[in-house]
Structure 1
Amino acid sequence: MKQFLAKFHKPLAALVIAVFLCFVAVFGYLHGAFDYVEYKLYDFRVKLFANSSRRSNDIIVVFLDQDSLNWADQNKHWGWPWPRAAYAEIVDYMRLGGAKSIAFDVIFSEPSIYGAADDAAFARASSAYGRVAQGVLFNLQTGITRSWPSGLDKPVFDPRSFGASLGNYSLSEEEGATAGQFPIPELRNSAGVIGSINGKADSDGIFRRMRLFTLFDGRAIPGLSAASLLVTGESKEIIDNPEAKTIEWGNYTIPVDKEGKTLLRFKGDLERYPNYSAMHILQSAEAVARGEEPLLPPENFKDAYVFFGYYAPGLYDIFASPISSLYPGVGAHITMLDNLLTGDFIKQSPQWLDMLLTILPSVLIILLVLFSSRIRLTVSGTVLIFALLFTGSVAVYRFGIWVPMAAPLITAIFAFIVATLYGYATEGSQKRYIKGAFSRYLSPKVIEELIDDPSKLDLGGEKREMTAIFTDIQRFSSISEGLQKEYGEDGPRALVNLLNLYLTEMSNIILENEGTVDKYEGDAIIAFFGAPIWTERHAALACRSAIQMKKKELELKAQIMDPEGAFYSPLGKLIEKGIIRSERPLYTRIGINTGDMVVGNMGTPDKMDYTIMGDAVNLAARLEGVNKQYDTGGILISDFTRNQIGDEFILRGLSRVRVVGKKDPVRLFELLELREEASQALLDMAGLWDKGFKAYESKEFLEAKNVFSTIWQRDNNDTVAKLYLGRCEKFQASPPEPDKWDDGVDNLTEK
């Protein structure tokens, strides 16, 4: 597989991957492969915004609930079904209150068990009101009427403008195309309008859409929600707008899909609408008849569109909606009417936009994965694309647009996986090379940055400003010779163990400070800061490393000089003879310089080292040796380094020197401590030193001598102060000649 993928050039591979995935995605989209997941993600959006969306204030719900059944049984001695006279009272109360209409989500398809007079009472109330919408259900199992009832002259839509698209509103056999279940003649004839209560679920069994009207026997039968408006006198003329994919009905604009269905914006539970129990309506009607104050004043229903439905155990008319799997059946009609009144439908995004959203993010992810050399950019860019797809789809729903989420997200996920696998197969070797090649002399943090962004790694030679550090153990040659002499064949083993301990501890410090270990030369360490990864703090990190190395010496001293430790026994003879000094068994001298250096892979094609070279590197090496001539505490830095490190450290200036082979003098500074860790005594000494050294370079040797003497008396281990004290005494006794003073520059004769 790797060989197969490797033969593709990266751009061609990206093109092949993109074309293949996009083809699969588009094919899957067009054939409904993403529908199930998309429906669930759509329902998530519905629930997220349902309760915060604006609902119509003109809709009221009346439920025949369990409380109503119990009340009727106890107080009216009504069993089930209720007498139609009860519904007549409810209709009369709506008429009294001035409701715009009342729609019954109930099919009264059988005569009342209480006799013809009972049906007549309901019919009289309906006729008197004139704005009752009765329901019809088209269903092959329960429907018995194959055509529109003869003589039934009720308002239906006039769809003359629809042309060929009118067929989209016909019911399929699955939906009950050939048979209708109508109310009994008395009730359908007395109704103001007959409305279809049909609906069809999506492929996952959830109802999300309704039709404005349904074709039956050549008539455009309004849905129950549209019937609630038609019965109030709304126009019957509707106009098809196929370009906009809408139906124009008076002041209403209804978006439709290719099957003539409208996507509903559910507004949450029906509790959001004013809803009353049928029991309370009947009680209020009786109170009004007795001249008493009703529980529900008729005025509550003024100009309201009222829906009546069942909601009691055993009577449940329920369906699965995006809001709930047990949503009252009347809720679909209420939602449709709400959307009509508020103009708040959901529109599906055009197919071309769906395709673009499916293809474009995946292409971007493929480009990111294959062509970005920075892992963090790839990951963050991919996460951003996913976040935009998700949040964008959620946000536009808030504005009434259903933008697909499943197809773009799933395709983008596969694009990321495929591109990543290809990248791993073809480029993983590069990352493994970086890790293997640099793990010995770069810190894990730096290696991870290189793996993140291999472009930072320029293995060819380049010139850049960096800081070099050279270390050397004082008198290590004597220690090596002594071990050979005193321990014979065991000497090299003890030497290697000691040196490995030292080099490991010191190298770890360099790596932890983002430095690069160039090489080991015996006991010496050569390292640099600022490559392969550039950092502006290269000088400060080198100085910090040097101070930490000197502190690590003290810890190693305790380990080496511990009589119970692993090193004391093999080194005992050298300690007794003073070859290894007990006060400082391993004493490191360090030289640091900053400047332009050449860095890169150097060597032959078979053996190369990532190393540095240049005059600035050589000066760092010289400064390491100069420590001995000034008897410092172990760390010398150049003025080039001093200019880079600010006030982060405590230093003291020393003489300017001309190193061997250089004409221009270099100012020396002894690096003493991190400022944040300096004692007050050290701070006082540094301030006093600056005063004394300024006097020294001004040839005010008496003043300088007094200062150096004070420092020496306070700390007899300060050999640098002792050195300059001796110089002041010498120059005070025999002042230097002007041509030999040379502004205090020391000319060094040793490397």
Structure 2
Amino acid sequence: MPPPSTSRMAPAGLASGRRRILSPLRRFGLDRLAALGLLMLMMAVYAAEPRPVEILRVKVFDLFQDIRPRIVTVRPVTIVDIDEASLARLGQWPWPRTVLADLVEALFAAGAVVVGFDMVFPEPDRVNPATLAGMLQGLDSETRRLLLSLPSNDAVFATAIGGRRVVLGRVAQPIAAHAQPNPPLKSTVAVRRTTDAPKPSATAIVAPGLIRNVAMLEAAAAGHGFVSLYPEPDGLVRRVPAVLAHAGTLFPSLAVELLRLAFDRPVSVVTLDRAGLRGVAVAPGFVIPTDGHGRIWPYFARRDPGKYVAAADVLAGTADPAMLKGKITLIGTSAFGLHDIRPTPVERAMPGVEVHAQIIENAATGTFLARPNYMIGAELTLLLGGGLLLIWLAPKLGAGWTLALFLSVAAGAAGTAWLLFSEHRILVDVSYAILAMLLLYTFLTYAGYTREQASRQRVRTAFQYYLSPAMVERLAEDPSRLALGGETRTVSILFCDVRGFTSLSESYKDDPTGLTRLINRLLTPLTEIVMRRGGTVDKYMGDCIMAFWNAPLDDAEHARHACLAAWEMQAAMGPLNRELAATAAADGRPFTPLTVGIGVNSGAVVVGNMGSDQRFDYTVLGDDVNLASRLEGQSKAYGVGIIVGENTRSFAPQLAMLELDRIRVKGRQEAVRIYTVLGDEDVAAGNEFVVLVAAHGRMLAAFRAAAWVDARTALSACRDRVNGFTLGGLYDVYERRLDRYQANPPPAGWDGTFEAESK
């Protein structure tokens, strides 16, 4: 035989390979897979640090500082404030530089260590004597000559600052400006770099342009520092450059330069490694930490009026000497009209000069905020770990417990971040990780909800014709009660069949539609009874109803409900026949009353969706199902409407049941006791039923003992005690058996079991 064609085997092999690939994915879950992709995307976004992520991060750090701002414990800096009161006393700004010279003289006379100007003087004084001589009209020649002979205000100011520790400001510009007639730039920043470190200008913030002081002042000052604060995109001042790069060289900020001079050092030393700038050492052991771009992250305090002294008071000699002696003094302004008011994380309006002062305070107390380079990795690890935990546990725990897990992780992360800030001044951003995990939780919860709703809809679709609407909703609320594919359960099965259906069909051979209407009118109320009693309608087989209890929903009283449903179905036949008779009379059609036989049995069966890949039904299979069908078939032979098996009787002993016989149905070797249902618990408690049961028991005992005369006497007593119970047909059956056995006794060893000859 030739080998099988590989082309025919390919589709099967391909399908097998696809199943091997998809099977683990299904076990992992498509929801989890999508959530894992979402997690990877969010991690990539965080690592890229787009502006929204950065804004979120710094806003959280702002909140930390606003909740717990730095407490001022020492004041190494005094701010000489050009405030509104000083402007009122000395005139509008700018003041003549002779006034500033007097201010410098007064500060050093009071014992100031270093004096810094939070301002720049890029143009000559507008009230220099020579300038006035040229501007003022009507001056006599002598006055003009005297003005021209006086030194310029800039020269007076240069003389005052010359040879003293005075730092003048410089301003960074975003574009390169025309060169000013100034001495060559001299940097007071040295760089210590590792071999793999980038160029300083590649990591530090670059100032393409530079506004300097007039040449005379530039040459006289002992130091120069940038006063530019570089607010962030939202306008807040959070991080301040310690150094700026200009023309490939690093230059210090105002605060760094003041500290250098305070320590009387020739240069400040910047450390540079592969990660960028690491810090600025203004003296041995005195290092200002920076981020990789050379920015300082100050720990801000609230605005501190205690470090301010009015410039007018210093000039008048009325300032507190203790505020100036041994202090670094910063000359700046708090006047709103001079436009140097900046928002910070802790204040909406803080004079720019105080920002520089707070940087020096941070340096003196070692309270700078730190955000180590490894924090990005730590935050990504938190996101990865928390995200994977949610992805793994959310489908297992459900929304409520997963929310508790998320809140625990979020609270732990937030608590850790706060502890690191409040105790160690380390900035950790857990906000993005928490929001990302919240998004994952929301996605997984929504996906689970959507999947659950789809599952519920599938249950509704699958069972809307099997169960009552209320039971369908109960099952839809908890689809886990439904084991699809087959499970073993103890159920009670009911078969209900119309007697004489063949002859009934023949009478409708010319009107099949009429037969359909008739059957529907019969099956509808019977089905309603089944559903009302909590049963599952398995199927309709022509004129037959098959139903069962205790699946898919648990029903501890399944046998009782099945028996009561059977009893109520028989009771419903009377009113139904009267309705059908009235309809037949109206149509001029003869009518034969309909009767049904019902069989009920209980036992362990297999229940679930069974069938082919194209079509399947939720049904039950098993020997006890077959027995229920056989019992329904025997109901006519025993002259009763209902027959139930002994298992059902044992599950519902409280009902009014009467033993019929011990029978071996066709196709089974084992004999079973069978019963009929005569009523509910109230009937069972009634005297008529109790008396009947006693008489009936004596009749069966005599019959099974082959005491035919005693059995006949007991049978007569039973007929006298029927009292409305429809048992005449049953006792007719025993009457005929007694006649037969008296004429032809059963063989020796007979135990009273009846052998059924038909299904």
Which residue of the partner structure matches residue 715 of structure 1?
Answer: none
Paired position in structure 1 for 2:94:
81
Q: Is the CA contact (8 Å cut-off) linking 2:487 and 2:606 kept in structure 1?
A: yes
Per-residue CA deviations over 1:546-604 (Å, capped at 9, x if unaligned) read 699799989999998999xxx99748989xx99889xxxx99979473535364524x6
- Correspondence for 1:524: 545
Query: Does the Cα contact within 8 Å between 2:299 and 2:369 map onto a contact in 1?
Result: no
1:264 to 276, 297, 306: 297
How much does 1:254 deviate?
Answer: 1.9
Q: 1:521-600 residue pairs with structure 2 within 5 A? A: 521=541, 522=543, 524-527=545-548, 529-530=550-551, 538-540=554-556, 542=558, 570=583, 591=600, 593-597=602-606, 599-600=608-609
Residues of 1 paired with 2:437 and 2:90: CA distance?
Answer: 63
Instruction: Report how far residue 43 of structure 1 moved.
Output: 3.5
Query: Using a 3 Å threshold, how does the CA distance of structure 1 residues 632 and 303 change in structure 2: closer, same or farther?
Result: farther
**1:215-269 CA-partner distances (Å, limit 9, x unpaired):** 5588753323333533442865646363676337325462532xx33373665xx
May I ask how many residue pairs the two structures share in their alignment?
636
- What letter corresponds to residue 56 of structure 2 in structure 1? L
Q: Secondary structure at the match of 1:611?
A: strand
What amino acid is aligned across from residue 107 of structure 1 in structure 2? V
Alpha-carbon distance in 1 for matches of 2:670, 2:255: 99
Equivalent in 169, 174, 191 of residue 135 of structure 1: 169
Alignment correspondent of 1:247: 279
Gap change, CA 1:171 and 1:306, over 3 Å in 2: farther
Change in 2 beyond 3 A, CA 1:21/1:729: closer
Q: Which position in structure 2 is the counterpart of 1:492?
A: 515
Structure 2 vs 1, CA of residues 230 and 728 (structure 1 numbering), >3 Å: closer, same or farther?
same
Which of 226, 251, 264 is equivalent to 1:196?
Answer: 226
Deviation at residue 726 of structure 1 after TM alignment: 1.8
CA distance in 1: counterparts of 2:157 and 2:362, whole angstroms:
30
Shift of 1:377: 7.5
Distance 2:258 2:578 in 1: 99
Aligned to 1:705: none
Q: What is the CA distance between 1:35 and its match in structure 2?
A: 1.3
SS in 1 for 2:339: coil
Once the two structures are superposed, residues 678-697 of structure 1 have per-residue CA deviations (whole angstroms, 9 ceiling, x without a partner) of xxxx8xx7xxx9xxxxxxxx
Given residue 369 of structure 2, which amino acid in structure 1 is its aligned partner? Answer: D
CA distance in 2, matches of 1:94, 1:560: 115
Deviates more, 1:549-558 or 1:227-236: 549-558
Map 1:582-621 to 2 at 5 A.
591=600, 593-597=602-606, 599-602=608-611, 608-618=616-626
Are the equivalent residues in 1 in contact too, given 2:549–2:562 (CA < 8 A)? Answer: no
> Contact 1:143–1:180 (CA<8 Å) still a contact in 2?
no
Specify the code of the residue in structure 1 equivalent to 2:294: K
SS in 2 for 1:107: coil
Q: Which has the larger radius of gyration?
A: 2
The equivalent position to 2:253 in structure 1, one of 213, 223, 236, is 223
SS of equivalent residue, structure 1 residue 470:
strand
Residue 60 of structure 2 corresponds to: 45
- Aligned residue among 488, 509, 513 for 1:464: 488
1:77: how far off?
6.2
1:181 aligns with 2:248: no
Q: Which amino acid in 1 is paired with 2:539?
A: K
Aligned residues: CA RMSD: 7.2
The alignment-based identity, stated in percent, is 17
Q: Is the 8 A contact 1:93 1:281 kept in 2?
A: no
Distance 1:364 1:281, change over 3 A: same
Query: Is 1:727 aligned to 2:693, yes or no?
Result: yes
TM-score normalized with structure 1 length = 0.58
**Per-residue deviation, 1:343:** 3.9
Question: Residue 540 of structure 1 aligns to a residue in which SS?
Answer: coil
Instruction: Give the whole-Å Cα distance in 2 for the aligned partners of 1:323 and 1:504.
Output: 75
Contact conserved, 2:601 with 2:647, CA < 8 A, in 1?
yes
Structure 2 CA distance for aligned equivalents of residues 624 and 334 of structure 1: 100
| 1:468–1:592 CA contact under 8 A, matched in 2 | yes
**Which amino acid letter does the alignment assign opposite residue 119 of structure 2?**
V
The reply to whether residue 105 of structure 1 matches residue 139 of structure 2 is: no
Return closer, same or farther for 1:97/1:732 CA change in 2, 3 Å cut-off: farther
- SS of equivalent to 1:467: strand
| Alpha-carbon distance between aligned partners in 2 of 1:125 and 1:635, rounded to the nearest angstrom | 120
1:543 Cα offset (Å)? 6.9
Q: Deviations over 1:273-316 (max 9, x none)?
A: 424796x7468769983xxxx9xx77789998776654555532
Residue by residue over 1:413-441, the C-alpha shift from the partner in whole angstroms, topping out at 9 and shown as x without a partner, is 89x99xx99xx9xxx99999988766654
Q: Does residue 317 of structure 1 match 2:340?
A: yes
Alignment of 1:288-299 (within 5 A): 289=318
Contact 1:101 1:304 in 2 (8 A): yes
Shift of 1:196: 1.9
Q: CA deviation at 1:498?
A: 2.8
Cα drift, residue 492 of structure 1? 3.3
Aligned to 1:342, what secondary structure does the other structure show? Answer: coil
Q: 1:702 aligns to what?
A: none
Structure 1 runs not aligned, ≥5 long = 532-536, 644-649, 674-681, 690-707, 713-720
What is the CA–CA distance in structure 2 between the aligned matches of 1:528 and 1:746, rounded to whole Å?
A: 32
Q: Where do 5+ consecutive residues of structure 2 fail to align?
A: 1-13, 129-150, 421-425, 708-750
